[in-house]
Amino acid sequence: MARTTKKTAPKTTRTTKKPAAKPKDLRNRKMAAPRLPYLPQDPKSYKPNIGLIACGGITATHLRAYKKAGYKVVALCDLIEQRAQDRRKEFYPKADVYVDYRDVLARDDIEVVDIATHPKDREPLLEAALRAGKHVLSQKPFVLDLDFGKKLIRLADRKGVKFAVNQNGRWAPHFSYLRNAVAAGLVGEVFAAHLSVHWNHNWVKGRPFDKIRHCILYDFAIHWFDMLNCLMGSKKARKVYASWARSPGQVATPKMLGQVGIEYDKAQASLTFDADVRYGGQARNYIAGTAGTLISQPEGDEQEQVTIYTPKGFGKPRLRGQWFPDGFHGTMGELLRSIEQGREPYNSARHNLESLALCFAAIASAETGKPVKPGTVKRLEPGWM
């Protein structure tokens, strides 16, 4: 009988597998916030003579910013001469005073004009200034009709002059840092932007603003529509949904509550305006991207501060300045730099038309209760103002 050998399985050495290292949690790791050019910038050597047309209440901020920046305002114009005289006395004692804007436009030595009248009065002045070959900074909201705005832009192109809009919120310290961070690609592709303001706007009672039907969604919110336009970059809004309501305790005539939802391809945004908040007012902005997040909100007694979150951790830039007057410094400074450098201003009328298209769509949606595609509402219907 043949002997058989029993085969045994080879012995194996048992090893203990080490657990995989846990990924580091960087959410609480503080990092140095990226340094960005958020402050207003001035031209290197271009110092033109500037004329201001209209000297109402807000123009004190214009002139305070211009004087601090060293800009040369040589003419002040207002239908009420005393208002122009008061501005001259406070800010530019050597400036000439006019009551007819055509006298300002007739001066060959004035290259730039700041037109700060109300929208209905401003449109013919804008056209006259462009035809006179002046570089123009228009107060916001820019125009009441998108097609007329395009006509003015074509006129500026033919005349070879720069045409900008005083969307001063772009240079408010926190907004300026947010848009610069997005433009630099620090948070990747933005897919969510939610901006909210909760404050008391009842101060308009008894003033011209109290007669504006959409005082909140139009006159006030244009800053936030414009900032959203900056943050979303090349993304185009597909639909806008908006509603408005009266607060139970409001004093002002226009409805003080407004909210807007905006639909993009692979992105969404919202704007919230609670304008009858008497206690604990606040503003907050939340921008989420594929590579990071930006948040701005008040901290303690400070103005809105920014926090940036990335895979490296979080950082808080130490922001300097204030919306008033630095925002106004920023708009004029950018116009002057664009003239000096021979390029389109960042706050161009052409770019601002996209912001107005969002705003007009929101007002139409609030009025009709239906979603609206931006650009399809060219002008506000009678009674919507």
**103 pLDDT more than 60:** yes
Does 177 score more than 70 pLDDT? yes
Where are the extended beta strands (E) located within the chain?
49-53, 72-77, 96-98, 110-115, 135-138, 163-165, 190-198, 239-245, 257-264, 267-274, 282-289, 292-298, 304-310, 313-315
pLDDT band at 303 (very low <50, low <70, confident <90, very high): confident
Helices 222-231 and 349-368: crossing angle in degrees, nearest 10, is 120
Tens of pLDDT, residue by residue over 130-161, are 999 999 999 999 999 999 999 999 999 999 99
Contact 92, 28 (CB under 8 A): no
Tokens, residue 168: 């001063």
pLDDT surpassing 60 at residue 108? yes
Q: Which two tokens stand for residue 82?
A: 């005393």
pLDDT confidence band for 382 (50 / 70 / 90): confident
Would you state the pLDDT for residue 300? 72
Torsion angle of the four alpha carbons 364, 368, 373, 377, in this order, in degrees rounded to the nearest 10: -40
Q: Is the pLDDT of residue 225 over 50?
A: yes
Report CA-CA distances (Å) from 172 to 296, 303, 351. Answer: 12, 11, 18
* Structure token pair of residue 280: 């604990």
- Please state, in angstroms and rounded to a whole number, the distance separating the CA atoms of residues 306 and 297: 7
Which amino acid belongs to residue 179?
Answer: R
| All structural domains of the chain | 49-169 (3.40.50.720), 173-321+349-368 (3.30.360.10)
Cis check for the bond before 325: say yes or no (omega within 30 of 0).
yes
